[in-house]
Structure 1
């Protein structure tokens, strides 16, 4: 299986196309990661709320424990402090929930920013490259098969006519020479068909 053409011009175009496609994929991934980091900064209020809620709940729990030791009224003093500590715990939970939500949004956005452009790049770049690889392999197999040079010559005759002008035209024309089985004309035409595919005889 040949990955690149043998003719310099087509091989150069393929190499440049591969470099451009890989660079675009790399830039897409880098951009998606930058966007992810920017989205994750939105979780900072959640981290602060979690830290503040934990500190508040811990402080009020300690105060409630201390207040419960006051004779006669300790139980009454502890209840409002415990309720406030529960509110601090709720604040901490809300902060964690905000961080989780921002993390999920960042992950989904990153996946979308990578998957969609990369899919477009692959369709525009990889599909033609795979098609060329298959065509080159088929052409090479055809050339090696019995009568393959004749078929490649026929393919050259039925292809773009402007490239035929560069060939020496025998009396009666190329098609007539091909029908007669002229080995020089068949060799020239099959070589032309190979060059069109980016291959050398």
Structure 2
């Protein structure tokens, strides 16, 4: 199985198409990651809420511990401070939840952008490449098969007229020469068919 043409012009076009496909996929991935980073900026308020809630809970917890040392009313003072510390922990948890949601949205968005972009590029690039690989294998198989040169010559005769300029016989006499089985003309025409497929004899 041949991946690239043997003729220089077609091989250059194939390599250029491959490079463009790779660059487009790389650009799509970079764009998706940039979008993800942009979405992750929305998690900043959640981080601030988490930090503020944690600090508030920690401060109130320490205050409750200190208040518990006050004689007679220490237990009474400690309870509301501990309740407020638990509320601060709830605020911290809410900030963490907000960050988790934003992170999931950012990851899913980036994943969707990457998959969509890659599939789009592959849908444009892969079918022509696969068609060429299959066609070149078919043409190569014809060349190697008995009587394959005749079929390749017929293929050249039914192709573009301008490609027949490389054959020494005038275009008007090519069909007659092919029907007579002129080995030289068949060889020339099979070379034309191979060149059209991007192959060399």
Fold-level similarity (TM above 0.5) = yes
Counterpart in 2 of 1:64? 64
Whether the 8 Å CA contact 2:194–2:200 is kept in 1: the answer is yes
* Offset, 1:113: 1.7
Counterpart in 1 of 2:86? 86
State TM-score, norm by structure 2. Answer: 0.92
User: Mind listing any 5+ residue stretches in structure 1 that lack a counterpart?
Assistant: none
1:122-141 equivalent positions in 2, closer than 5 A: 122-141=122-141
Write out per-residue CA displacement over residues 66-111 of structure 1, whole angstroms, 9 at most, x where no aligned residue: 2233333333322221221111111111111111111111111111
Counterpart in 2 of 1:52? 52
* Offset, 1:8: 1.2
Residues 172, 180 of structure 1: alpha-carbon distance in 2 compared, 3 angstrom cutoff: farther
Is 1:24 aligned to 2:24, yes or no?
yes
Whether the 8 Å CA contact 2:164–2:171 is kept in 1: the answer is no
Partner SS, residue 71 of structure 2:
coil
Counterpart in 2 of 1:12? 12
Whether the 8 Å CA contact 2:152–2:190 is kept in 1: the answer is yes
* Offset, 1:177: 1.8
Counterpart in 2 of 1:105? 105
User: Mind listing any 5+ residue stretches in structure 2 that lack a counterpart?
Assistant: none
Residues 76, 172 of structure 1: alpha-carbon distance in 2 compared, 3 angstrom cutoff: closer
Task: Number of aligned residue pairs: give it.
Answer: 201
Counterpart in 2 of 1:155? 155
State TM-score, norm by structure 1. Answer: 0.92
Residues 78, 179 of structure 1: alpha-carbon distance in 2 compared, 3 angstrom cutoff: same
